Each structure stands twice: as C-alpha cells, then as structure tokens.
C-alpha cells in the first residue's frame, strides 16, 4: 500500500507539472480564478464546462496539435517563433492557462488572458509555402489562421468527448456555439455555431489544397509522438497518442504520415486502453480540478448556484 501511495503521489505531481508547470500546488493564476465580479462566459452545467472538465481533453489536445500542424502557416508560426521544442511543457502550460481562464474565469480575466496571447502573436510573422506551392505571408493574428486553429480545436474536442467523454448538455452544437465566444475573443470572425458548420469548414480547407505535408510536418509529428515527458508518463502517453491518431479521419492520417497506431488491427483496443489511462489520470487528479473549484468559489460569492 505504501508503494502504491508513493507511486500515485509521484504520478500526480508529474501530471501537474506537465499541464501547469508546477507540482504540489496550483500555479499562481489558478487561485485568482476565484476573483472577479461576474460569472464569466461559461457556467456550471454548460457544454463547455462538461467538455473541458473531463480528462478526454488530453486526447483532444494531442489530436488538435496534429490537426493544426497540417496548415503550413499555423505550423510555421509555431515552428519558427515558439519555444515548443526547447520548452514544450512551458508552451503547454500557457495554452492550458488560456483555455481554463476563458472556461472558468470572470469576463475580465478571460479578456486579459486573451489580450496577453494576442500581444505575443503580434510578433509572429513570416512566410510559408502552401500545398499548392504558393508562397504566402502569415501573421499569428490573421483571421484565416485563427479560424483554422479554432475550428480544428472544436472538431477535436467534440470528437474526443464523443469517444471518451460524457454527454454534453445541449449536444455538440451547444459546445460549438458556446466556445465560439473564445473564437471571437481571439479575433475569429463569425465562428461556426454548429458541428455541421465545423465539418463544412474543414472540408473547404482540405479541398483548397492549402494543407501541406512536408519534412517540417514530419519532424513536428515525431516531436508530438515522442515528447520529453517523465518516464512515469510515457507509457500512458503512447496509448493516448495512439488514441488521438485512431480518432483522425484517414485522409488526415495519410497527410501526417502516420498509420492508425493501435494495440491491434481495429481501433477498439486503443479506445479501451485509452479509457483505462484516462481513468487513472482522473483518479490521480480528482474529479474537479483546482480551476473549477476556484470558479465555483467566485460564483458562490456572487450568488450563483455553483
């Protein structure tokens, strides 16, 4: 029993360090989610709380990284300007901070977090060659790239939740409609409001020929597949990566140059194995994370049913 307690404690600390950059105590921004004088963009019982409060978001996060890398403009911005290779966990922690602040924070906190991200994006500029061989300029705050990031995010989180998550209040359309608020904050013009619209936009991008497979994409996929994680987390991550790959459409797997990674000829063993890993993560971290708990304290103070 002592061994298991120690193992679980170490496993929990490594998970916390991976997602937030700290272990043992939440990062400084989490307790501040209890501050603020309004309910924010999302409330308990919302589709966004249901999706983002489930550990299936881990698979969704891997999947969305793979999908976003297919756009050479989005990939160029990450590849040339971010520290994802030198400090991937730091970049992950910053992304988690923005998502959870928009999900659980007050309106002021969500807008301030978004302003920080957009300010960083201001210096992310350059050129890329699209899948048609056309050289294009890019900027991280361009509506086109922001839209690609937003749409692939919505698609990945809906897909992962459908396989490993729980029923969404109002269904997938409610999640797309609610998370459109995050897209607008980032500068996405008229974001999709239904799952059908998300799929239609993905079809348009695929048909446009802009998406591209090249050596830079292959290098990025390899990095996502084998990130510098703690040895304690690597076995579980390998299964979750395989699950993310299995959830992709075949045409995207082909572009990414990865087969359906699995534990057998069918995706079912991967889905089952991923469910077991996600169950262990939930057991280690608990059902309600510190960000959600902080948000509930703010809502209770303001008189909302939390």
pLDDT in tens, 68-110: 999 999 999 887 766 666 667 777 888 999 999 999 999 999 9
Query: For 257, left (φ over 0), alpha (ψ -120 to 50), or beta?
Result: left
DSSP class per residue in 148-174: HHHHHHHHHHHHHHHHHS-PPTT-HHH
Give the per-residue pLDDT at 263.
46
Give the per-residue pLDDT at 8.
79
Give the per-residue pLDDT at 267.
65
What is the band of 12 on the pLDDT scale with cuts at 50, 70, 90? confident
Give the per-residue pLDDT at 5.
74
pLDDT in tens, 47-60: 999 999 999 999 99
**Dihedral, CA atoms, 87, 184, 130, 244, nearest 10 degrees?**
60
End-to-end CA distance of the chain: 36
Distance CA 43, CA 295 (A): 9
What is the band of 261 on the pLDDT scale with cuts at 50, 70, 90? low
Q: Is the pLDDT of residue 211 over 90?
A: yes
pLDDT in tens, 135-174: 999 998 999 999 999 999 999 999 999 999 999 999 999 9
Token duo for residue 96? 């988690």
Contacts of 34 by beta carbon, 8 Å cutoff, 6+ apart: 294, 295, 297, 298, 301
**Domain extents in the chain:** 26-301
What is the band of 224 on the pLDDT scale with cuts at 50, 70, 90? very high
pLDDT in tens, 277-287: 999 999 998 87
Distance CA 219, CA 234 (A): 19
Give the per-residue pLDDT at 4.
66
What is the band of 2 on the pLDDT scale with cuts at 50, 70, 90? low
Distance CA 278, CA 46 (A): 22
Distance CA 149, CA 221 (A): 17
Distance CA 274, CA 276 (A): 5
Q: What is the mean pLDDT of the chain?
A: 91
Say what angle helices 234-246 and 143-164 make with each other, to 10 degrees: 100
The answer to which of 200-204, 253-257, 283-287 has the lowest mean pLDDT is 283-287
Distance CA 217, CA 278 (A): 27
Tokens 């919505």: give the residue: 154
Q: How far is CA 68 from the centre of its chain?
A: 11
Give the per-residue pLDDT at 300.
96
Give the per-residue pLDDT at 58.
96
Closest residue by Cα to residue 91 from 120, 57, 123: 120
Show the DSSP H helices in 21-169 as ranges. Answer: 47-52, 57-68, 72-81, 88-104, 107-121, 143-164
Token duo for residue 154? 């919505």
Q: Is the pLDDT of residue 124 over 50?
A: yes
């Amino acid at each position: 029993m002592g061994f298991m307690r120690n193992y679980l404690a170490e496993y929990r600390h490594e998970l916390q360090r991976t997602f937030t950059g700290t272990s043992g105590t939440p990062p400084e921004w989490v307790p501040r989610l209890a501050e603020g004088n309004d309910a924010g963009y999302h409330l308990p019982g919302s589709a966004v709380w249901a999706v983002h409060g489930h550990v299936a978001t881990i698979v969704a996060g891997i999947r969305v990284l793979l999908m976003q890398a297919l756009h050479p403009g989005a990939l160029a911005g990450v590849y040339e300007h971010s520290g994802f290779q030198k400090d991937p966990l730091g970049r992950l922690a910053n992304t988690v901070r923005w998502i959870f602040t928009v999900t659980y924070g007050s309106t002021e906190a969500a807008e301030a977090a978004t302003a920080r991200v957009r300010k960083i994006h201001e210096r992310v500029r350059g050129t890329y060659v699209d899948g048609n061989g056309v050289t294009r300029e890019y900027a991280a705050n361009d509506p086109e790239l922001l839209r690609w990031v937003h749409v692939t995010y919505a698609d990945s989180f809906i897909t992962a939740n459908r396989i490993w998550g729980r029923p969404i209040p109002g269904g997938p359309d409610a999640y797309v409609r609610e998370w459109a608020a995050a897209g607008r904050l980032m500068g996405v013009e008229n974001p999709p409001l239904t799952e059908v619209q998300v799929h239609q936009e993905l079809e348009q991008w695929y048909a446009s020929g802009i998406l591209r497979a090249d050596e830079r994409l292959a290098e990025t996929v390899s990095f996502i597949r084998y990130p510098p994680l703690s040895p304690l987390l690597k076995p579980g991550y390998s299964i979750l990566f395989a699950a993310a790959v299995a959830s992709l459409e075949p045409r995207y797997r082909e572009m990414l140059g990865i087969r359906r990674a699995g534990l057998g000829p069918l995706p079912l063993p991967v889905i089952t194995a991923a469910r077991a890993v996600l169950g262990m993560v939930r057991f280690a971290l608990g059902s309600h994370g510190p960000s959600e708990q902080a948000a509930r304290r703010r809502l209770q103070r303001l008189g909302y049913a939390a």
